[in-house]
Amino acid sequence: MQNFTSKLLESAVDEFSKLPGIGKKTALRLVLHLLNQEIEDVDQFGETIIKLRREIKHCSSCNTISDNELCSICSNHNRDHSLVCVVENARDVMSIENTQQFNGIYHVLGGIISPMDGIGPSDLKIDTLQSKIATGSVKEIILALSTTMEGDTTNFYLFKKFKNYPVKITTIARGVAIGDELEYADEITLGRSIINRTPFESSI
């Protein structure tokens, strides 16, 4: 058990250790690092985090993280708005964008179906995706969820829900290993899996 010489130090370490993947030792190292910085730099760090939390938005169209009502992707008229890539979270948007192999738009579900975690279809942003498809402006949706049991369950649910709409439903090629999440796939593999996507029916 760590013995602290300062309650302020202990409180700061406790807060940092609440972050995912950060244990007490790493939290202490980070806090001590901040104490060695100029106070102006630490002020800037703190103000940036506070501003992020207070001012960040979710795109009203695709639900990804954005500075504005519409994200830079959805507001880009050079993107193919008839091609929608369905992903779990904003990290996946960033991963696919880094491949530079996709010129459509996205739809962020905000999670995947996981009964073990108490997450069902009603907890995801599926209704807004359905509204988008119902307009008739979407020609293809690419199901690009992680190749885990939960991801596959969500893919199948979406396929069943939208298969009677006049929209092509595809899935990324299985270049991403079973059990992998998109954020951990290398850019070349992920890029190829987008380009070589296949009709969802053939993956069932």
Query: Which CATH number characterizes residue 30's domain?
Result: 1.10.8.420
- Beta pairing class for 168-171 and 198-199: antiparallel
Answer yes or no: do 132 and 51 share one domain: no
Higher pLDDT, 202 or 77: 77
Answer yes or no: do 24 and 104 share one domain: no
Answer yes or no: do 43 and 98 share one domain: no
Answer yes or no: do 133 and 50 share one domain: no
Provide the pLDDT confidence category of residue 174 given band limits of 50, 70 and 90: low
Answer yes or no: do 164 and 110 share one domain: yes
Q: In this predicted structure, what is the pLDDT of residue 7? A: 94
Query: Which CATH number characterizes residue 120's domain?
Result: 3.40.1360.10
Answer yes or no: is pLDDT of 78 > 50: yes
Asked whether the beta carbons of 178 and 88 are under 8 A apart, the reply is no
Q: In this predicted structure, what is the pLDDT of residue 132? A: 92
Answer yes or no: do 98 and 171 share one domain: yes
Structural domain contains residue 135: yes
Answer yes or no: is pLDDT of 60 > 50: yes
Structural domain contains residue 61: no
Structural domain contains residue 40: yes
Q: Which domain holds residue 19?
A: 7-55
Q: In this predicted structure, what is the pLDDT of residue 170? A: 94
Closest of 176, 185, 184 to residue 155, by C-alpha: 176
Average pLDDT of the chain to the nearest whole number: 89
Answer yes or no: is pLDDT of 138 > 90: yes
Answer yes or no: do 177 and 115 share one domain: yes
Which residue carries 């009964």 as its tokens? 115
Q: In this predicted structure, what is the pLDDT of residue 177? A: 43
Answer yes or no: do 141 and 193 share one domain: yes
Structural domain total, the chain: 2
- Within 10 A of 196 (CB to CB), how many other CB atoms are there? 11
The C-alpha R_g of the chain, in whole angstroms, comes to: 21
Answer yes or no: do 191 and 113 share one domain: yes
